[in-house]
Amino acid sequence: MALQQKGMHGTWASRWTFIMAATGSAVGLGNMWKFPYVAGSNGGGAFVLIYLGCILLIGVPVMMAEVLIGRHGRQSPINSMNEAVADSNANSRWRSVGWLGVLAGLLILSFYAVIAGWALDYILLISSGDLQGINGAAAGAAFDNLLSNPGRLIMWQTLFMALCVIVVIGGVKRGLGIAVETLMPLLFLMMLMLLVFAFLKGNFEAAVNFLFSFNLDALTWRGVLEAMGQAFFTLSIGMGAIMAYGAYMPQDANIGKTILIVAFFDSAVAIISGLIIFSIVFATPGIEPSAGPGLMFISLPVAFGSMPGGLLIGAVFFVLVSIAAWSSAISLLEPCVAWLMEAKSISRAKANLVIAGTAWVLGLGSVFSFNIWSEYKVAGFTYFDFLDFLTANIMLPISGLLITLFVGYVIKREVIDFEMQGTSDKVMEVWQFTIRYIAPFAISLVFIMGVYDKFFA
């Protein structure tokens, strides 16, 4: 077994580029759109605490394990996993982990592009000035208007997918690397600006109270499952994205430290987004924090429309969301593209068109589930709800569980020791303990209770 492989896709320019890329992948709609509304509908504080606990006790160890497998194989998640399985003389069924991840990634990309399209649309909508001073009903109607128009949704979905292709076609160094090195600093700058605005003009205190006051009554097992699913989703783990990015990580970068930085950035952005959104929402009478998916697209525009200078800030906000979604979606596209290049020996450009085209077609189902197919429901799910639930709450936990078991019990010791060189004994001990005992137990428990709660309680 060769401990150090050479990959065909290249490596990031530096450890810092990996941090930017992984943070770019992690920070996305999950942080800005989903986290605030899921926290909102689960009552705030207690949910946030469980979420942060999941990030630290499950997310970080699993993320380290994924990066380790990726960097060992230096290929797409599917082939890196194959490599780790072969090098460890493990049962070939373990290979399914790579497939499960990449499939989940493709499904997520398909609906992610649709939601990101909403954000693109809202940049124009809010800049047009039409939302000045509107009330909740009018904002709801504006949002419904967008959702009921498949042509408009498809246009934005297509444009967003094209933006992703443009980056991923450039390859690891010139495409992905340069994109994240430009986009991430921009994202942090805009975020800071919005935070200052929220602090000065919003109801910051109410937002802090809401996010950090401990309201246990509002929490259910389903909420705990959502917190864990959200931790997986937001860290981009369980779906090949981080494994693929790990495959391009320089060999001398310390996995543990690097991943802790990424997890810190990601959690910080989720909390800051929550603070921004709820400060603005609470500053406007009559808007509920538990508005659900419409929080960002209905409640927030009302709030922006009622504040002096709000529409300009609102436009900046939706540019920020679009950038965050963009830097995430490229990490969903890359694993499949890398795999197709390896499997069929085709060019990066061709692989991009095939994968993006497939995701685009799958995404049409999500587009239609907001309009012409909105009546078709299976077990209460529309096509979009189903994909969202299936990926975040079923596929990602299963894939995460398998990764913890594989790296905890199956993978050859030499691989771990080689990839984790320079990690202190104490950190190794804690990581091994969490990946062997805490994470598998917690994932299984939460998964079983959450699914039971959802379907049988």
* Residues of the shown chain interacting with ligand PHE in the complex, contacts defined by CB under 6 A: 25-26, 28-31, 108, 233-234, 236, 239, 241, 328, 331-332
CB of 328: closest distance to ligand PHE in angstroms? 4
User: How is residue 212 written in tokens?
Assistant: 């950090």
User: How is residue 451 written in tokens?
Assistant: 């699914």
Q: Which amino acid is at 342?
A: E
Q: 35 vs 156, which CB is nearer to ligand PHE?
A: 35
Q: 262 vs 311, which CB is nearer to ligand PHE?
A: 262
CB of 166: closest distance to ligand PHE in angstroms? 17
Q: 29 vs 303, which CB is nearer to ligand PHE?
A: 29
CB of 245: closest distance to ligand PHE in angstroms? 10
At residue 378, the 3 state secondary structure works out as strand
What is the b/e burial string over 118-144, where b = at least 16 CB atoms within 10 angstroms of the residue's CB? bbbbbbebbbeeebeebebebbbebbe
Residue with tokens 């993006």: 356
Q: 139 vs 324, which CB is nearer to ligand PHE?
A: 324
Q: Which of 234, 228, 262 is nearest to 438 (CA)?
A: 228
How buried is 337 (Cβ within 10 angstroms: 0-12 exposed, 13-18 middle, 19+ buried)? buried
CB of 332: closest distance to ligand PHE in angstroms? 5
User: How is residue 128 written in tokens?
Assistant: 């047009």
Q: Are 265 and 27 in contact (CB under 8 A)?
A: yes
Q: 9 vs 34, which CB is nearer to ligand PHE?
A: 34
CB of 238: closest distance to ligand PHE in angstroms? 8
Q: 142 vs 179, which CB is nearer to ligand PHE?
A: 179
Task: Give me the phi and psi of 346, to 5 degrees please.
Answer: -105, 170
Cα separations (Å) of 424 from 255, 259, 338, 427? Answer: 12, 15, 33, 5
Q: 210 vs 232, which CB is nearer to ligand PHE?
A: 232
Q: 87 vs 266, which CB is nearer to ligand PHE?
A: 266
How far, in Å, CA of 389 to CA of 371, rounded? 19
Q: Which of 282, 303, 318 is nearest to 115 (CA)?
A: 318
How far, in Å, CA of 316 to CA of 304, rounded? 11
Bridge partners (DSSP) listed for residue 378: 381
How far, in Å, CA of 211 to CA of 40, rounded? 8
CB of 266: closest distance to ligand PHE in angstroms? 8
Residue with tokens 């783990």: 237
Q: 107 vs 351, which CB is nearer to ligand PHE?
A: 107
> Which residue is closest to ligand PHE by CB?
30
